[in-house]
Every structure is written in C-alpha cells, then in structure tokens.
Structure 1
Amino acid sequence: MLEEKSVDTSQLKGRDFLTLLDYSSDEILYLLDSAMKLKQAQQQGECPKVLAGKSLGMLFENASTRTRVSFEVGMTQLGGHALFLSPRDLQIGRGEPISDTAKVLSRYLDGIMIRTNSDEKVAELARHADIPVINALTDNYHPCQALADLLTIYEQKGDYTKLKTAYVGDGNNVAHSLLIGAAKVGMDITIATPKGYEANPEFVNKAIEIGKETGALVKVTNDPVEAVKGADAIYTDVWASMGFEEEQKKREQAFSGFQVNQQLTAHAKDDYIFLHCLPAHRDEEVTAEVIDGKHSCIIDEAENRLHVQKAVMIALMA
C-alpha cells in the first residue's frame, strides 16, 4: 500500500476535480491509496455502496470509450446512477447559458462529469454549480488519466521517489497532467517533444516549482533518446489528438523520430514499463512489438481509470 497520509477528508467533500494543481501531494496520494483499496475490494468481490441514491450527470461533447464506461460502471459499483448526456440532450448547444445549466443540474444531481475541449467552459460550469464538477478531459488537462497512470506505475514499481518516467510525443493535455502528477508525487519526469509541439511552458514551470518541494526532477527536451535514457516507464500518446486530425500528415513528418520502438526503448532500464492512454495507432507513435510486448501495461492502466475515478467520486460525493 501507499504510505498512509493524514488528509482531512471533509475538506475533499463537495470540491471540484478540475486539475491536479488544485490538490496537494498528500491529497493525491490519498486518492491513489483509496483507489488501490477499492481495486483490491473489487477483486475480492466486494464494493462499498457508498454512493447509493446518488446520481452523476456525464456531459460529453467528445466521444470516448474508456471515460464513459469507467464512470458509468464505477457509479453502478458504488450503488449510484449515471446519466449519459450528449450535446443532443443538452440545451447548451442551443444557446442556454452554462450558468443556467449548472444551476439546474445542481438541483437534480449529486455530481457532474464533463468531457469537452474548453477549459473555460468547465471552469464556468464549476463556478455556477453547487455540486462537484469532475474534469474528464479538456484541451489542457486530463487529471483522471494521470491518476490512472500514477496508480499503474506504483503497482508495477512500488515507489515514486526513485523512479524516472519519460513521455515521448505531443506536448498535449495528457503530457500536462502527467507532468503535474509526477511532480506532486515526487517522481522524476522528462518530456520529449518535437520542436513546435512542446508542452505549455506555464505547466512545465509549475511542475518544476512543485518538484523543488517534492524532490522530483522535471525536464523537457527535443531529444527522445535523452528522455528515455535510464527510464523506468515510457509513455506516449497519439501524434494527432482529437481535434487535430487535419494535421495528421504534417504531424507524421514532425514526429517521425519520436516513435517508441525497440531502438528507443533500448535506452531505458531493462525492466521498463510501457504506458499509453489509448486509443493507440500501432506502428505510428508506437510499434506493435512494444505496445503488445511484455513491457506493456496499457490494459492495467485502462482498468485503473475505473478505480481512480471511483476514489474521486467517493471523496467528492459520498
């Protein structure tokens, strides 16, 4: 188990979960420990029905396999109910102010999960809602994914403070949240991106500052070999994320030297693990040999979305 952290759980109830920047290192470790215990309980055929009678509204402006299924199943396992709400089910797209939607949903629901592009939209929803709002993905953040990543790394390695994770690819929302999450738990991280596709300097600088307090070494580079050298975990994502599909050909050229393959992974530790948030494009950002090989933990990582999200929902809504 993770080291027990003294966290006042009453300070978590009713809060929003928009970015890991809003949570202390101890709070993040508490959520990860809670997720691990929930996973073990489920494996033993047990699951606390602590959200019985509670309802979660799931607002989707972007399609997703893992996000919808994991949140919906998670609510069911905890005794609650989840409502899938697409743009066709909401009046926001027809001009209703987000503030009105937030206030009305607050009278019906106990929590809102939203997956959209706009960070501003999520922030406005949270400002006007009287119930917790969970960010399931925006242009700049993917905090639930980062928690699943951190849980997977701990399961495989049993530590954070002596590890190095290398992220190779686009400096996108996944990279941002992984940067912040790694820094919060004291894990070294290096982000390698092609020139012009770097992570947002604002988040890099915040992660560096956090790392000074936790002991995490945060680096950015344009050299994937430098990033992977001595790494305990290697992470990548698609080169053209949702919304950038029209840049596919351009990005294939820019990222040509950033494929995670056996030549690149040879620079990592012999027992490195491979991570990917999925969906993946085999033989593009990663070879089939790596993603389907003995080092890959992508299915464990995907499963862990379920458990970390249950931990978040319990902390905020129970």
Structure 2
Amino acid sequence: MVNHFLKLSDIAPEEIQPLLERAIELKAGATSNALAGKSVAILFEKPSLRTKLSFWVGTEKLGGHPVHFAPEEVGLGRREPIADVANVMSRMSDIAVIRTFEQSIIEEFAAAASIPVINALTDLEHPCQALADTQTIMEQLGGVSGAKVAYIGDGNNVAVSLGYAVAGLGGHLTVASPAGYTVPGESLEGANTYGASAGGSVTQVTSPEEAVASADIVYTDVWTSMGQETESAKRLVDLDGYQVNPRLLDQAGSNVKFMHDLPAHPGEEISDGLLYDSRSIVFDQAENRLWAQAALMEKLI
C-alpha cells in the first residue's frame, strides 16, 4: 500500500513525535541517503517561497533530485486529466509534492498515483506546515503535550492542520475567530477525536484575549489567503480586532513565543515590526519546514 500525506490525520497521533524527533536529528547534522537515486516531482498551482525551497533543498539533503513544475506547465484537470498526470509522474518520479486548491484535486491525484503523494497546501489543510510548527514548539518548550497554543484569526487550512497536530501530541489549541471565520465544525470535531488518546484538545472561541490567556504560543496567519483576493476588503473589516500585536502578547504567558507561517501582512493580522519582536520565533519556524519535510519524505519513501 502506498503511503500518502494528504491530511495531517494520515499519520497516526503516535507517529508524530518520532517523526519530529527525526527532524530535529536531521537539523542537528544527521545524514540520510533515503532519496539517493530518486526524484521528487514538485507540482505547484499556487505561488510558494518556503514550501518550494524547503522541499527542493530537503530532497537534495536526502540525496535525491527535485523537479519543479510551475502552474502553467501542467494545469491539473485543465490541460490534462488529473489521473493522467498522476500516472505519468508515478512512472518517472518517486514522490509527488502537490500544492493546489480543492482537496478533491489532490485526493484524485493520489487515488491514481503509485508513489507517495504529499500535500504541500490545499484549501482544506496545510499539514506540512503543522509538522514544522509542532517541531518548533517542541524545540521551544521541550514538548507539545500540555502546551497552550492560541491561534488568532481566520480558522483556515493552517488552523485546521495545526489543530490536529497539537491535539495529536497532547497539547491544547484555542482558536479565536469572529463569526463566519471559525474552524469548520467537522474539522474541529475531527481534531478533538484525533487527539483524544493523547489528551489533546481544540477549542473555538471568539475573544482573542480569552484565547491568549496563559498561552505559551500565540500564532496567527494572513486574513486573506491565496485565491481569496476578491474578499480582501470584506475580510479586513470582519477581522478587525483580531490583530496580534505587543499588547495582545503581553496578555499571554510571561514566556510566550509568537509564530506566523508567513508571508505576513504587517498592519493587518500583525502589527508593524512584530516578526522581529524578541518573542518572535517565526524564522526558526520557517527553517523547520526543511527539516520536518525531510523527515516526512524519509518516512514515506
């Protein structure tokens, strides 16, 4: 059976910790030739800096060869049927890394593929980001179990995957969002079920102040994600009051750390300069995309 990573829950809760420990080992200098003589096809239908760079460099660090396809080169389901692309890539590469829009696209791709398929972001989830996020929390706090994480803003794909990962490791995520921007009910229920055996939880509230009280980590993401540009003006109004700034961080735990998956929009979801606040660990978090994904590819191949 081919192992795919299309949603965070595609790996069992008890598999997350060893994977993140391996990521930390690789970051500390451990070497691996898991992809020696193998190729990784990187097919992105959305722009990317961190995801493209981290998969490219991570593939090379494991001894493999990355092959990148820009949006106009393939056209999943438009220029060529999704199943046809999956079959061709399966014949010529060893892992497919897909960044696209609807979750159904990557699910259809994986159903036709005979190689591991990795979700590098869809509208539903961003599971690779969640691996890097929880690796970063582990490094800062010594573990995720029992950690209090606050997520402020749009309950989007990043929030969904983060919820599964934090809960699966026994941590507690509180999401603060206005009406209309909360984590989908099915995802909220799913994350709590996923994390039940570890004692983890995900809770939805509306008040940012309530969410950050005693928090070890405060996390946010952009208010307007890729593909939502036409909604930008409305989102700026609806999410007003959900900015993360020094005042809000001051209401969290005394040793709070600030996280953001980037790119950020200062003046919107964060105040100017917050990425460089002494409490910010966003660039450690960005670097960990490389190591978490390298460990993931090593696991799946």
TM-score category by the smaller chain? over 0.9
Cα distance in structure 1, aligned partners of 2:267 and 2:76:
39
Partner of 2:43: 59
Q: CA RMSD in A?
A: 1.3
Tell me the equivalent position of 1:19. 7
Quick check: 307-316 or 246-255, which moved more?
Answer: 246-255
Mapping 1:204-243, distance limit 5 Å = 204-243=188-227
The answer to whether the aligner puts 1:77 opposite 2:58 as a matched pair is no
1:35 and 2:18 are equivalent in the alignment: no
Q: Which residue of 2 aligns with 1:47?
A: 31
Correspondence 1:103-122 to 2 at 5 A: 103-122=87-106
**Aligned-partner Cα distance in 1 for 2:214–2:105:** 40
Report the alpha carbon displacement of residue 108 of structure 1 after superposing the two structures with TM: 0.4
> Distance in 1 between the 2:110 and 2:194 partners?
25
Which residue type is aligned with residue 18 of structure 2?
A: Y
Give the corresponding residue for 1:311.
295
Question: How much does 1:89 deviate?
Answer: 2.1
**Pairwise CA distance, 1:194:** 1.1
Q: Deviations over 1:196-248 (max 9, x none)?
A: 11111101011122333211132101111110111000000001111111211
Alignment of 1:261-272 (within 5 A): 261-272=245-256
SS state of the match for residue 84, structure 1?
Answer: strand
Matched residues in 1 for 2:31 and 2:111: separation?
32
Aligned residue identity for 1:88: E
Larger mean Cα displacement after TM superposition, 90-99 or 78-87 = 90-99
CA distance in 2, matches of 1:148, 1:81: 22
Contact 2:44 2:71 in 1 (8 A): yes
Q: Which residue of 2 aligns with 1:294?
A: 278
Query: How many corresponding residue pairs?
Result: 301
C-alpha separation between the residues in 2 aligned to 1:208 and 1:316? Answer: 25
Specify the SS of the correspondent of 1:195.
Answer: coil
SS state of the match for residue 163, structure 2? helix
Alignment of 1:77-226 (within 5 A): 77-90=61-74, 92=76, 94-226=78-210
Amino acid at match of 2:269: E
- Measured after TM superposition, the shift of residue 87 of structure 1 is 2.9
- Shift >4 Å, 4+ stretches: none
Q: TM-score, normalised by structure 2?
A: 0.97
- 1 CA distance for matches of 2:76 and 2:121? 18
Asked whether the 8 Å contact 2:163–2:191 carries over to 1, the reply is yes
> What are structure 1's unaligned runs of at least 5 residues?
1-12
Q: What percent of counterpart residues are identical?
A: 46
Unaligned ranges ≥5, structure 2: none
Distance in 1 separating the partners of 2:144 and 2:34: 30
| SS across alignment from 1:286 | coil
Answer yes or no: is the 8 Å Cα contact 1:57–1:82 preserved in 2: yes
Question: How far, CA to CA, are the matches of 1:89 and 1:309 in structure 2?
Answer: 24
Could you say which residue in structure 2 is the equivalent of 1:6?
none
**Counterpart of 2:206 in structure 1: which amino acid?**
N
Indicate conservation of the 8 Å contact 2:170/2:195, yes or no: yes
Return the letter of the residue paired with 2:7: T
Matching residue's letter, 2:226: M
Aligned residue among 273, 276, 279 for 2:263? 279
Other-structure match for 1:3: none
Q: TM-score, normalised by structure 1?
A: 0.92
Q: CA deviation at 1:163?
A: 1.1
Instruction: Name the SS of the counterpart of 1:189 in structure 2.
Output: strand
Report deviation, 1:132: 0.2
Change (3 A) 1:92 1:289: closer
Mapped to 2, the partners of 1:281 and 1:206 lie a distance apart of 30
- Residue 13 of structure 2 contacts residue 169 of structure 2 at CA under 8 Å; is this kept in 1? yes
1:289: how far off? 4.0
2:66 and 2:194 map into 1 onto residues whose CA distance is 35
Paired residues of 2:13 and 2:195 also in contact (CA < 8 A): no
